[in-house]
Amino acid sequence: MAKPKKENLPKAVNIDTQAEPGSSITYANEVVATIAGVAANEIEGIAGMVSIPSGGKIGKNKNLTKGIKVEVGPEEVSCEIYLNIEYGRPIQKVAGEVQENVRKAVESMTGLHCVRVDVHVQGVSFEKENSALNAGAKNAKLPTAETEDDNVRIADTREEAAEETAPEQPAETAAEQ
């Protein structure tokens, strides 16, 4: 009978608890990757996660672990985060916030010491700005004119509308002047 390949199985780590001797807590890489992915996406300025260049996604939660690579040791963990940042955001500040948030989340939820959180900025996203421009154009409801004659006609129509709404002066006042 052939043995299953170890690299296809999720890696797990046994952590001894102080409460009961002989018992342990096991963390699969997918668990730590999911925690790191959620923590990274909580930071404002993150446009999205990027697939890891080496290719592999972990387990069932592919959307939550996309762009996350973790190495779990007996008492420590290291994370690599691959992401895109929104255009106009200070990259160093956003990346630093990702590092801190991931570190806090992993350490508080697992009890493992997070020795490294490497952030790899793979790109800058313009999607938010493009969608804001498109939304602004739709909300503006400006008439579109293809020729200069149309522009003049639109301007004339606006002037006529302004004249119609202006209060008329009584005939006597106009004659006296």
The answer, yes or no, to whether residue 45 has pLDDT greater than 50, is yes
More confident residue, 161 or 110: 110
- On the 0-12 / 13-18 / 19+ scale of CB atoms within 10 A, 139 is exposed
Confidence of residue 51 (pLDDT cuts 50, 70, 90): confident
**pLDDT tens for each residue of 28-42:** 999 999 999 999 999
* Cα(124)–Cα(112) distance, integer angstroms: 32
Domain extent for 26: 8-128
**pLDDT tens for each residue of 130-146:** 666 666 666 666 555 45
**pLDDT tens for each residue of 79-118:** 999 999 999 999 999 999 999 999 999 999 999 999 999 9
In a domain, 155, yes or no: no
26: nearest Cα among 10, 11, 15: 15
In a domain, 105, yes or no: yes
Confidence of residue 22 (pLDDT cuts 50, 70, 90): confident
In a domain, 23, yes or no: yes
In a domain, 142, yes or no: no
**How many domains does the structure of the chain reveal?**
1
In a domain, 148, yes or no: no
* Cα(15)–Cα(24) distance, integer angstroms: 5
In a domain, 137, yes or no: no
Q: What residues contact 26, with CB distance under 8 A and at least 6 apart?
A: 12, 13, 14, 15
The Cβ of residue 15 has, within 10 Å, a number of other Cβ atoms equal to 15
Q: How far is CA 88 from the centre of its chain?
A: 13
Report the CATH number at residue 23: 3.30.70.1350
Inter-helix orientation angle 29-41/91-110, to 10°:
140
Q: What residues contact 72, with CB distance under 8 A and at least 6 apart?
A: 11, 12, 13, 27, 29, 32, 112
